[in-house]
């Protein structure tokens, strides 16, 4: 009987074409599946909580997969997998979970962080982790705009242009902006938590907040853009490298109180 695992991962997405396997670039999924295949002896397929784009990072990505040959406790999988991964991808934890657990379908909340460096000069040590904007920003205006996006809304204006037409309603539980000191400027951390996200939704929201923060639009424009339900709203999509998946939440009953006893 195969065991199903909950696997939490962190990675620097700079070198990869995103989470999902694809023909023309190396993916996070490919590296994880290669490591698991080496352990299991047959090809292992994985599912992630979301398909992070090229250049997007993660501290709490979740993947699910099943293994038949692994007999040791789930936490022993962590070093076994990490020995076979590159240094910019790690497994943080592994747990036994219920049969049929699906990292994408069973997720109930996700939390992302987008980081902006507002400074006349860039930070070369963190250039691949934050969006550098060498122009003055007004965080208070951005904070005022955030309130228009809290709650259950139709976020059609913030999905990628040309995305398939299906439900665009999502519940944003939290959207906060923290201002931190940084060399020669300030660092803005925008955290957003929702029951799910449309394609490029976070990056489009950040782009709209930047348009407000630079004085291009008043905070109330965010509400107008939301109710247009049209991606034609004139704001830039924030680049991928400033985005990080922080956490994915699941119902507590997906985890097993005690691991299964392997058959002899």
Question: Would you please indicate which residues are annotated as catalytic (active-site) residues?
Answer: 53
Q: Burial code of 14-34, b = ≥16 C-beta within 10 A, e = fewer? A: eebbbbebeeeeebbbbbbbe
Whether 131 and 116 have beta carbons less than 8 Å apart is answered as yes
User: Can you tell me the distance from the alpha carbon of 51 to that of 56, in angstroms, rounded to the nearest whole number?
Assistant: 10
Largest CA distance in the chain: 67
Q: Burial code of 131-153, b = ≥16 C-beta within 10 A, e = fewer? A: bbbeeebebebbbbbbebbeeeb
Whether 112 and 174 have beta carbons less than 8 Å apart is answered as no
Residue 257's contacts (CB-CB under 8 Å, 6 or more residues apart) are none
User: Can you tell me the distance from the alpha carbon of 245 to that of 237, in angstroms, rounded to the nearest whole number?
Assistant: 17
């Amino acid at each position: 009987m195969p065991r199903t695992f909950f696997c939490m991962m962190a990675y620097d997405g700079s070198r990869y074409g995103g989470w999902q396997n694809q023909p023309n670039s190396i993916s996070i999924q490919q590296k994880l599946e290669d490591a698991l295949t080496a352990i299991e002896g047959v090809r292992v397929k994985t599912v992630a909580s979301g398909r992070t784009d090229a250049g997007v990072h993660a501290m709490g990505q979740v993947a699910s997969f099943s293994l038949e040959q692994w007999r040791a406790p789930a936490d022993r999988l962590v070093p076994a997998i990490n020995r076979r991964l590159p240094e910019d991808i790690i497994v943080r934890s592994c747990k036994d979970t219920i049969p049929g657990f699906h990292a994408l379908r069973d997720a109930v909340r996700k939390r992302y962080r987008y980081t902006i460096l507002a400074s006349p000069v860039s930070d070369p040590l963190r250039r691949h982790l934050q969006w550098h904007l060498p122009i003055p920003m007004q965080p208070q205006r951005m904070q005022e705009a955030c309130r228009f996006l809290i709650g259950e809304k139709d976020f059609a204006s913030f999905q990628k242009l040309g995305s398939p037409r299906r439900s665009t309603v999502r519940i944003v539980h939290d959207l906060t902006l923290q201002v931190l000191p940084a060399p020669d400027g300030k660092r803005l951390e925008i955290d957003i938590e929702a029951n799910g996200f449309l394609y490029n939704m976070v990056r489009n929201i950040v782009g709209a907040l930047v348009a407000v923060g630079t004085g291009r639009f008043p905070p109330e424009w965010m509400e107008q853009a939301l109710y247009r339900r049209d991606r034609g709203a004139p704001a830039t999509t924030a680049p991928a490298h400033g985005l990080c998946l922080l956490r994915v939440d699941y119902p507590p009953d997906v985890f097993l109180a005690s691991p299964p006893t392997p058959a002899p």
